[in-house]
Structure 1
């Protein structure tokens, strides 16, 4: 107790001498996690790597599980901010409502090289290739865990899982019974709330929720504010379990929001270019059904279907997209040394676009079909000691045709405390409509006039990756868990831009205009390599710390004969070479909690972003397990810092913020 009181005094002194501190919002504690050991905290099944439950310590890949407890005590209010807890993941906030995310490099606004799943539903957009993070939301109290796989996962999950997979998994409805109400506000968070209620009808459990938030604009450097954000969402989930062998899950969500942005609208008529502060209106909904049946021998058959509709509209562009997906998976019971998993899939995605020239898709609407099949065999070469996983996936997409993505993974466990893993994997990022169908333009000189025009490229091929990885994990007793991962990735046919010859064409009132045509092309190749280290320890029952460090280097070159482009430098210098994270969590006397997290992020020379260090602090008090009062301070050391470039919107500084929240459960 003396030692714990000393920590309390040090923490209090730090809070008083430093900037204002305060803490998280969303939290419900149905289990007293303060009594759990580190081994119990880490004892969660991982399903993303093998599509069947595996222990994190035995999984043959670099995977980080961000648990419900991690999210609760981190002080974050969005799914994307929670990803900062994973090593090797670069999360950069562009402005108040936009983020750029990268795994092992290739950070960009839409995260084109990685796949994002929410309860098995892919949220990767085939229009602009990537994920709109501002459209991905749910009640954080309902998230069970986020599995972050660093490295390719195309063998089981398909194309675009190149640098990694983020799988957001929500809790079953039987774990969210009763009523929860949460609300809060702060310096940047104008206000937010969440309401959820769950119940039971025999073997059927259910929950329904609603949430809303309004966020103030960030601080643009030398520009007026423009990026306020408002979002509302509601949804439900039901789980019917008539017996231990069968289950049916049906869930759905509806959302609507407005996100401020500054856009440059180009026209072929004078004044040719104007900047507009506008709000992106976005909305949509999804519905998912999943049936699981298990035989007495242990074979599990999963049939999943989902439908998703999204809509985005701004001053110059509008898109409506509808996606339907069917998926069959059969996990056969282990037969001798073998455990086979196979599956089939079909996805249809249709879009309808409207825009102001020169920005347009040709044709304006397109329906694409994706067919896939995969097979994986986990072979116990030495039972409980050495396991080999062999698998491959075959897909047919509308742009590059048939793609094959094989993998070989090996896990050696000489004893329960030590695991060594190694893998070789191939993955691809398939073309999207932005490479094959997109036309847009910008003004280079209004006096001439002289325009740059992006034109479609029907010959754009899939970007390819072959990844080599090795890792080591050790559990030092019941109080410490350490991991190390090293990788070398070989990249081919990476996206670049290619400029053609300047040409003249008729303009308004007979005045000619000059056009510089540009296309996306497969013109880069090279490698990326890096190292990731993590540590997780619980020295005392009331004290837990985690730390991580990642080092990355990306080296790309243009193919022989390729013309100079613009993506080589951005791909190499658009992700930090060094990243570090340190978190301390304390269970203070009584029912108080305190959490501190510090992040160090290296410079991004490609977008002229300097290195920075920032920290978050959370203080919470629980009252009879019925209410939690929290105070959170984020980005505390400096009044504002820059994490990424906003492109045509200019550079936006992310401000220090303080907010408070209260959560009731009954």
Structure 2
């Protein structure tokens, strides 16, 4: 069967699934309210910086639950993010991922902010996320909130195209012991966690995780690149929660991780000779204090320290970050509900120059400050709201950015309609302005020299969306957007001198839509189809960027996540993904299938057989191809 045929089947299935059948409406009166209605009442925090019902959010929001993560068979956070419409995930190497929201998907993607319990893990130096350094065990994650679109009015310049907030379980929710063992063709992983009550108000939990992969499952068909091999990681951490049921909750978290590998540098830019040793160490501490001052109102203080060190061949460096913020979610005052906050962060780094990389200043300290305010104004009864927000970002480099947004929300009778207009600005990162390194491009080695004096990137966005609970078994969500980008940074190459420079002359427009449904077709079968369409008219990008992000032609991405309970104790889950740009000759379509079979052998023991990339199809964004992999996972509660 050819790839277009696969895509046709998936698209037809999505179209069929998104049409609410009359039978479903007839049966809804006879069935109890299912999880869909309850899901709309789940309180999310990322979209408003305070707990709000999902049915009261004026934006495109997806929530990946603990059950979703377990049933997807994912072994990493990027794999779990594949469940979200509008989020494109590509495995680039054994330990490297490219994650993008609404385009701009690359390994050092800097257009979305990533948080863990509100703590930013987007690097203040590289403004990207090193996913191979993140060692949060999936079994400790409670949910992942993904808001797509421009949220800079709440989260600042790093949240250009969206925010990913990973929320872990409290110590009380981790009470007891859990062992998760995964062994397969790619390697093995072992996680242990244990939580206990210290007294009536205090809980503590510990975790440890070890992982190994030989890296041999990823390969380059033409031999031009080599995968990272002998990848090993160990991590440990703890969490302590003190909860006074009346007013206060205090939480302390700390964790550390060490990663070692023999890096093939097959996808790295700059491109090192294959076989250099790579070592990364990271750690953090975070303290959070929540004080409740009323119904849906309170004050939060959060502060954290994190350090990330790297050693890649003869290049070494460390990045430190201290951040602090105070948030105040105020009580409703007439038709107004204010939320405001102030924050600051100090980042300092230290790098040693190497034969391949140098930076203008080996040591650098950067100070940022910010403040935001948001008002949700009730315009009519309890169904029409106007949300106005503004954030001020200040950086000691002289950047002063105003990030405004206006959102209108109408909600009534299990329906929501929202529109939004936003403006965002972000200053260049340290490596764009000060870094110098070598790049292998089209068979030649270029030396990248940064001229400095780069302008701020700008984004103007219009969004709209509609969400409806059609029946207790069917929920539908669609969002559309138009983004205009200006002064975007990219790399230009000079063939006469074999030098490269970072410029600000990439600009253009991207528009698209994402549609998703949550359909409990039968008592034991749930389907979650989604379809994303993205059209980018971006000018000025280098040839490699354009090859992976076609300009002027629509990119289609269809997903279908199904959860089937064959028996009460036996489940079968599949994730089908299809991505194509039919009118772009160089953009090969991909069709991937992941599947898992689970058996709840005992109340305290669950066994799973997991297959990933079963049909051996690969996203051509990476020069490395990923072989099909199979693993067995055992989860034991004690």
Tell me the TM-score normalized by structure 1: 0.85
The alpha-carbon distance between structure 1 residues 253 and 644, as it changes in their structure 2 partners (threshold 3 A), is: same
Instruction: Say which SS state the counterpart of residue 198 (structure 1) adopts.
Output: strand
Q: Distance in 1 between matches of 2:366 and 2:282?
A: 20
Q: How far 1:443 moved relative to its partner?
A: 7.4
Residue from 638, 641, 644 that aligns with 2:621 = 644
Q: Deviations over 1:4-57 (max 9, x none)?
A: xxxxxxxxxxxxxxxxxxxxxxxxxxxxxx996332345421111101111222
In 2: Cα distance, 1:322 partner to 1:341 partner: 29
2:630 maps to 658
Q: CA deviation at 1:429?
A: 3.0
Give me the whole-angstrom Cα distance separating, in 1, the residues matched to 2:585 and 2:311.
Answer: 27
Alignment CA distance shift 1:605-1:431 (3 Å): farther
Counterpart residue number, 2:152: 154
**2: CA distance, partners of 1:457 / 1:183:** 50
Q: In structure 1, what is the Cα distance between the partners aligned to 2:598 and 2:196?
A: 28
Structure 1 residues 218-617: aligned runs within 5 Å: 218-223=218-223, 225-228=226-229, 229-263=231-265, 275-296=273-294, 299-399=297-397, 401-413=399-411, 415-442=412-439, 452-498=446-492, 515-558=497-540, 566=543, 569=546, 572-573=549-550, 577-603=555-581, 610-617=588-595
Q: Distance in 1 between matches of 2:141 and 2:272?
A: 42
Does the residue aligned with 1:333 lie in a helix, a strand or coil? coil
Q: Give the structure 2 partner of residue 20 of structure 1.
A: none
Structure 2 CA distance, aligned partners of 1:566 and 1:321? Answer: 31
Question: C-alpha distance in 1, partners of 2:563/2:440?
Answer: 52
Is 544-553 or 594-603 further displaced after alignment? Answer: 594-603
- The 8 Å contact of residues 481 and 512 in structure 2, kept in 1 or not, is answered as yes
Q: Which residue of 1 aligns with 2:3?
A: none
Q: Post-superposition shift, 1:524?
A: 1.7
Say if 1:545 and 1:585, in contact at 8 Å, map to a contact too. Answer: yes
Distance 1:521 1:57, change over 3 A: same
Measured against aligned partners, the alpha-carbon deviations of 1:203-245 in whole angstroms (never above 9, x if no partner) come to 0011100011112311222337541222111111111012321
Q: Which has the higher contact order (CA 8 A, sep 6+)?
A: 1
Question: Number of matched residues?
Answer: 599
In the other structure, the counterpart of 1:12 is none
* Alpha-carbon spacing, 1:123–1:445, altered in 2? closer, same or farther (3 Å): closer
Q: How does 1:4-43 map to 2 (within 5 A)?
A: 37-43=35-41
Once the 2 structures are TM-superposed, how far is the Cα of residue 129 of structure 1 from its aligned partner?
2.4
Assess if the C-alpha contact under 8 Å between 2:529 and 2:559 holds in 1: yes
SS at match of 1:303: strand
Contact 2:322 2:346 in 1 (8 A): yes
| Structure 1 CA distance for aligned equivalents of residues 301 and 330 of structure 2 | 14
Q: Any idea what SS the aligned residue of 1:85 has?
A: coil
What is the Cα deviation at residue 588 of structure 1?
2.1
Change (3 A) 1:601 1:243: same
Unaligned runs of 5+ in 1: 1-33, 267-272, 503-514, 559-563, 646-650
Assess if the C-alpha contact under 8 Å between 2:113 and 2:163 holds in 1.
yes
Q: Which moved more, 1:300-309 or 1:518-527?
A: 518-527
Q: 1:518 to 1:637 in 2, by over 3 A?
A: closer
TM-score under structure 2 normalisation? 0.89
Contact 1:573 1:605 (8 Å CA) reproduced: no
How far apart are residue 58 of structure 1 and its match?
Answer: 2.1
Separation in structure 1 between the aligned mates of residue 400 and residue 352 of structure 2, nearest angstrom: 30
Question: Is the alpha carbon distance of 1:444 and 1:257 closer, same or farther for their aligned partners in structure 2, counting shifts above 3 Å?
Answer: closer
**Cα deviation code 1:438-474 (max 9, x no counterpart):** 112357899xxx9632112321122111110010011
* Aligned CA-pair RMSD: 2.6
Deviation track 1:465-501 (CA, whole Å, cap 9, x = no partner) reads 1110010011012110001111000111111334579
The alpha-carbon distance between structure 1 residues 467 and 571, as it changes in their structure 2 partners (threshold 3 A), is farther
Tell me the alpha carbon deviations over residues 574-622 of structure 1, each in whole angstroms, 9 at most, x when there is no partner: 9981101112111222411111221111259999552111111111111
* Change in 2 beyond 3 A, CA 1:542/1:41: farther
1:184 and 2:171 matched: no
Counterpart for residue 24 of structure 1: none
Q: Secondary structure at the match of 1:588?
A: strand
What's the CA shift for 1:430? Answer: 2.2
Q: Deviations over 1:176-220 (max 9, x none)?
A: 1001111120111x2111101000122001110001111231122
Question: What is the rounded CA distance, in whole Å, between the counterparts of 2:227 and 2:519 in structure 1?
Answer: 43
Deviations 1:606-642 (A, max 9, x none): 995521111111111113321001111111123x534
Q: Structure 1's 197 and 481: CA in aligned 2 closer, same or farther, altered over 3 A?
A: same
Question: 2:212 maps to what in 1?
Answer: 214
- Name 1:58's counterpart in structure 2: 56
Q: Aligned partners of 1:298 and 1:590: how far apart in 2? A: 38
